[in-house]
Structures are given as C-alpha cells and as structure tokens.
Amino acid sequence: MKLSDEQFEFLLDVQMFIEWCALEHNLKITGGELYRTQYQQNHYFATGRSKVEHSYHQDRLAIDLNFFDGSGKQLNTKETMRFLGVYWESLNPFNVWGGNYRNFFDGNHFERAIWSTSKKNQEREYE
C-alpha cells in the first residue's frame, strides 16, 4: 500500500467524521493542524507541547479539530469528548483518538496510527 493511499483513506475518514459530528450531533467544527514539519515537531517536543519526537502529523496522518456545541461552548474534557473518540476509532482499526493517550490528554487530536507497535499483528507494508 502506498502512503498516499493511506493518507487519502485517512482524509475520507475525517470527512465522514466531520459530517457525523455536524449532522448527527449538531456540532460546529473548526480545523487545526494537519501537516507538521520536523522543525515544528522539534519545537513542540522541546517545549513540552508534544511528547513524541515523530508525530503522525508529519506523515499527514493526524488532524487536530475543535468542537463547539449548539451554545458555542467548546468541548474540551474527556467526558464531553469521549463519544467522538469512540466513533473515530470505530471507523478504522488503526484510528486512535488523542483523548486515549496514557501520558496526556489530547482530545482534539485524531490520527491513523499505522506504525503503532500495539497494532503490530495488523501491520502493513508501505512503499
């Protein structure tokens, strides 16, 4: 499988996810970061904004999204965002919600964790 095919399938999931949030849950969604350079990642890692030296953002396989309810209040806790993560992770076995990270909460982050060692038995080859 080509990495660009995975990137495309990831974006199709993002599209489905955004539509589901907007149409089924009446949420307003705004976009955050998708692609991130190594320079940006180094800066985030050095300043504690990221806990990893390589992010799926660098592979164009992660996106940060912001969610607002009907009253304009931003969803920003694990309790209010959990249903988003459950749906995101149901779309593909490699999808991971940043709200489920062990070491810190990143509820606005949605990724396709294709290099994950915990999903090794499903590992695929990339060209």
Measured from the CB of residue 127, what is the shortest distance to Zn ion in angstroms?
A: 25
For 70-76, which contacts have Cβ atoms below 8 Å and span 24 or more sequence positions? 70/26, 72/28, 75/27, 75/107, 76/107, 76/108
Site for Zn ion in 95-124 (CB under 5 A): 109
Name residues contacting Zn ion, limited to 22-81 (CB under 5 A): 64
Q: Which is nearer to Zn ion, 36 or 91 (CB)?
A: 36
Dist CA 9 CA 126 (whole Å):
14
Q: Which is nearer to Zn ion, 91 or 112 (CB)?
A: 112
Give the residues lining the site for Zn ion (CB under 5 A): 64, 109
